[in-house]
């Protein structure tokens, strides 16, 4: 005669394993999506850095032009 508690425990353990597998699959998919986002974000960061440097150069040239104009007056 089988132990009914052991049988119930086996059923519960199988359910836990199945749910843990589903969780693992979801985490793997989430990790893959995050890696794609990080990769896309790299291009955005590069573009933002370039725009920031461009803005600083424009500001420097505007200031230099204003200073030169003020000195020539």
Which DSSP symbol is given to 73?
-
pLDDT of residue 33: 97
pLDDT of residue 73: 74
Per-residue pLDDT of the chain (73 residues; tens, 9 = 90+): 678 888 999 999 999 999 999 999 999 999 999 999 999 899 899 999 999 999 999 999 999 999 888 887 7
pLDDT of residue 1: 61
Structure tokens at 56: 């600083």
Report the distance separating Cα 69 and Cα 62, nearest Å: 10
């Amino acid at each position: 005669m089988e132990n009914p508690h052991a049988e119930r425990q086996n059923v519960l353990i199988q359910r836990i394993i199945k749910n843990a597998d589903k969780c693992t699959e979801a985490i793997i998919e989430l990790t893959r999506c995050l890696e794609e986002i990080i990769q896309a974000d790299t291009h955005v960061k590069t573009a933002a850095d370039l725009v920031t440097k461009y803005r600083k150069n424009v500001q420097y040239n505007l200031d230099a032009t204003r200073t030169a104009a003020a000195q020539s007056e």
